[in-house]
Amino acid sequence: MSRSNVVEAVLLIAFGGPTAPAEIRPFLERVARGRRIPTERLEEVAHHYERMPGGRSPLHERTLAQAHALAATLERAGRALPVFVGMRNWHPFLHDTLAEMAGRGVTRALGIIRSSLRTEASWDRYVGDVAEARARTPGAPEIVFAPAWSAHPGFLDAVADRARHAFQEVPEGERRWTPLVFTAHSLPVSMADTSPYVSDLTAAASAVAARLEHPRWSLAYQSRSGPPADRWLEPDILDVLKSLAGDGERHVVVVPIGFVCDHVEVLYDLDVQAAAAARALGLAWHRAGAVNDHPAFIGMLADLVTSNA
């Protein structure tokens, strides 16, 4: 194999998030640039970040933990490669990471988009932002992208294991018919209709439910941020909770399958807002952790590298 075809590093591509209270509003302003997000919504989200420990998002440290775990796994497998992290919306920005990679002599790297569900916002924009960052970075390495991975057994096994632990909180005699709800970020219907987002989500949720041998499951959406007049994917998680409570359910297990780490949209939108709604409705709330650095998920990332590098 010629050197020009050899992958010399891995680039984990993430959304980004503030790492200190002073960064919250500049970060949100950057994310909202060019989008019709109401100012009130941005301020509301800023308060969500402020309620987190240290007034910051844990996305940065959790992404670095995934990178470190991936590097260690690759080394143990005899395929040692440096693993870099580049963010679309905050430090370390993609162009800064690409400059670092170039400075270390990397000429070709495998890019892994940390989004299990494909749509213009969660996949295409990442590819475009990498291209833009490369164009502004002298000597930037070529980036080849790993394929979509929502159907990868390692990802599905990791989600199933997180869900299995959540079910342990439910009394054994009630587990089989306890509602299992998979959540993902809501999107404008117009965007969802032109992407495999919903089909990716449905297939992944079905595969996880099959692993759990759990017959009763459904989908819900969360974290809507657009203008009220726009049509977004439904049902919202809060509406699902109301419906379950109205049916007399006592427990609910919620699995944030659309998120690869426990960051603010999980820790606030689910653990604070939705959990409070569940309690008010008389529902016992059980939330599965995101995959984070689960060994099966890290193993999946390593497989993407060895299969595509």
CATH assignment at residue 98 = 3.40.50.1400
Distance, in Å, from the CA atom of 293 to the CA atom of 68, rounded to the nearest integer, reads 9
Whether 273 has a pLDDT exceeding 70, the answer reads yes
- Under the banding of pLDDT at 50, 70 and 90, the label for residue 30 is very high
Helices (H), ranges, the chain? 24-32, 39-50, 59-76, 94-103, 125-135, 153-167, 189-192, 197-212, 237-246, 264-267, 275-280, 295-308
Mean pLDDT of the chain: 95
Q: How many CB atoms lie under 10 A from the CB of residue 251?
A: 19
- Under the banding of pLDDT at 50, 70 and 90, the label for residue 118 is very high
Domain count, the chain: 2
In the numeric block, the tokens 């497989």 are attached to 303
Q: How many CB atoms lie under 10 A from the CB of residue 235?
A: 16
Handedness of CA 38, 44, 46, 48 (dihedral sign): negative
Whether 50 contacts 15, CB under 8 Å: no
Are residues 112 and 211 located together in one domain of the fold?
no
Tens-place pLDDT, residues 226-235: 777 889 999 9
pLDDT computed for residue 215 by the predictor: 94
Are residues 214 and 271 located together in one domain of the fold?
yes
pLDDT computed for residue 34 by the predictor: 79
Q: Does residue 86 sit in helix, strand or coil?
A: strand
Whether 264 contacts 17, CB under 8 Å: yes
Q: Does residue 73 sit in helix, strand or coil?
A: helix
Are residues 46 and 134 located together in one domain of the fold?
yes
Tens-place pLDDT, residues 151-198: 999 999 999 999 999 999 999 999 999 999 999 999 999 999 999 999
Are residues 143 and 112 located together in one domain of the fold?
yes
Question: Exposed/middle/buried for 65, CB within 10 Å: 0-12, 13-18, 19+?
Answer: middle
Are residues 145 and 164 located together in one domain of the fold?
no
- Under the banding of pLDDT at 50, 70 and 90, the label for residue 3 is low
Are residues 190 and 217 located together in one domain of the fold?
yes
Whether 4 has a pLDDT exceeding 80, the answer reads no
For every residue of 129-176, DSSP letters joined together read HHHHHHHTSTTPPEEEEPPP-TT-HHHHHHHHHHHHHHHTTS-GGGST
Are residues 14 and 144 located together in one domain of the fold?
yes
* Nearest alpha carbon to residue 121 among 225, 36, 192, 49: 192
Are residues 8 and 140 located together in one domain of the fold?
yes
Backbone angles phi and psi of 10, in degrees to 5: -120, 140
Cα pseudo-dihedral 121, 123, 124, 125, rounded to 10? 50
Are residues 241 and 270 located together in one domain of the fold?
yes
Distance, in Å, from the CA atom of 297 to the CA atom of 295, rounded to the nearest integer, reads 5
* Nearest alpha carbon to residue 45 among 286, 126, 35: 35
Whether 248 has a pLDDT exceeding 80, the answer reads yes
In the numeric block, the tokens 């689910």 are attached to 270
Are residues 138 and 8 located together in one domain of the fold?
yes
How large is the average pLDDT for residues 1-20? 85
Are residues 260 and 302 located together in one domain of the fold?
no
pTM of the model: 0.95
Number of residues written out for the chain? 309
Range of 211's domain? 153-287
Are residues 121 and 180 located together in one domain of the fold?
no
Strands 251-255 and 180-185: parallel
Percent of the chain having pLDDT more than 90? 90
Distance, in Å, from the CA atom of 98 to the CA atom of 105, rounded to the nearest integer, reads 11
